[in-house]
Amino acid sequence: MMIEKAYESVHFFHDSRTGLRAIVALHDTTFGPGLGGTRAISTYGTEAEAVDDVLRLARGMTFKAALANIPFGGGKAVIMLPKEPFDRAALFEAFGRAVDTLGGRYITTEDAGTSPEDVAYMRRGTSHVVGLPREMGGSGDPSPFTAFGVVRGIEALAKLHFGRSDLEGLKVSILGVGHVGFPLARMLHERGAKLWVADVNPEATRRAAEELGAAVVSPEELLSLEVDVFAPCALGGAIDDHSLPLLRCKAVAGSANNQLREDRHGKELHDRGIVYVPDYVLNAGGLINVAQEVEGYDEEKSREKVSRIYDTVYAILERAKAENTRPEVVADRIVLERLAKAKAEKGA
């Protein structure tokens, strides 16, 4: 995959004292340092699985940053958390020191399995980190900004493909109502959407039902619901050979990274008349928000930039519709054209 997708480098780190096992992938730094979160989970079966995950995520960050028009490249990290008890502060500080050895080519932040507090621990080992807690002058939890960007993208989708000026009565099914999925559900609820939710955590679905009036179903049932929008908001790979034939939605638009298990699944969605809004366009709000820290955090300015996801999504969907092609093909083409132009200018 590294050669095929043109990655710049992959770095492996191990610290026996803290139990740290981490991988950092840099996909492309043409536009600036690789900026992307650190995913910390204990469920990787093998190191190969972790490598596959970090490579896919890093490439997605290149495309996400380019389409968000922010001066950063694509980078990502994963930590294979120890299965035995460990000192969390020490482990993330050790990871910060590992990041520091890259000399600023990679700037990290939080992701699945990490928090602003973990980012604060990383900060003890490196200055190349954003997404710090508010009390440390950072932007705090980026999840609400990610959710806001997804809502803006769904609004663009509803306008172009459903001819709707608002989301009142829009039927949306959400897979995963955690850090991003719940604020997304809340914002959709506030805009009048009808919600169905599923999550492996019963407490998460109970909260969505009690506070937002969402209907709770099993993950399997959720896939086959006849809704306007299916929003995958858990881990990646939600659209695969098993789930795709079950879908009865009109569009897929969620916050999860790498929603298509394979590229061919995007074509299969298109062939079935299901609009897929590329995840790396839709979920860029969190990245845009933490990137604002580099020049000095300004929440109002950050929210304004995240809101522009509407314009980006609308332009991509409009072009895809005019060319009778898939939105992700259009989005990829835009990024590759921008990268080629920038590389040519640097070469010149």
Residue 246's pLDDT is what? 96
The secondary structure of residue 134, as a DSSP letter, is: G
Residue range 218-255, pLDDT digits in tens: 999 999 999 999 999 997 889 999 999 999 999 999 99
Say yes or no to pLDDT of 174 above 60: yes
Mean per-residue pLDDT, 37-45: 93
User: In angstroms, rounded to a whole number, what is the distance separating the alpha carbons of residues 249 and 118?
Assistant: 37
Q: DSSP readout, 307-327?
A: HTHHHHHHHHHHHHHHHTS-H
Contact (CB, 8 A) for 3 and 49:
no
Q: Tell me, what amino acid is at 103?
A: G
Tokens read off for 42:
């204990």
Are 251 and 274 contacting, i.e. CB atoms less than 8 angstroms apart?
yes
Q: Please report where in the chains the tokens 């109502």 appear, as a residue.
A: 177
Banded model confidence at residue 112, pLDDT cuts 50, 70, 90: confident
* Torsions phi, psi for 252 (to 5 deg): -115, 120
Angle at 147 between CA 209 and CA 92, to 5 degrees: 105
Tell me, yes or no, if the two domains 2-59+72-136 and 143-283+313-333 fold the same way: yes
**Whether 76 contacts 25, CB under 8 Å:** yes
Output 270 or 6, whichever has higher pLDDT: 270
CATH, domain range 143-283+313-333? 3.40.50.720
Q: Once rounded to an integer, what is the mean pLDDT over residues 293-298?
A: 89
139 versus 124: the higher-pLDDT residue is 124
Cα distance from N-terminal residue to C-terminal residue, the chain: 29
Q: Is the pLDDT of residue 160 over 80?
A: yes
Please state the rounded mean pLDDT for residues 41-47: 91
Mean pLDDT of 281-310: 94
Write down the domain spans for the chain.
2-59+72-136, 143-283+313-333
Closest by CA to 18, choosing from 84, 76, 78, is 84
Which whole number is the average pLDDT over 303-312? 97
Return the structure tokens found at 158. Answer: 């509803």
Q: What is the pLDDT of residues 50-94, one digit of tens each?
A: 999 999 999 989 999 999 999 999 999 999 999 999 999 999 999
Q: Which residues are catalytic?
A: 76
Smallest Cα–Cα separation from 312: which of 127, 129, 152?
A: 152
Q: Between 3.20.20.70, 3.40.50.10860, 3.20.20.100, 1.10.600.10, what CATH number should domain 2-59+72-136 receive?
A: 3.40.50.10860
What is the pLDDT at residue 347?
78
Could you tell me the two tokens for 301? 């300015």
Q: Which residues, 6+ apart, have CB-to-CB distance to 42 below 8 Å?
A: 80, 81, 82, 83
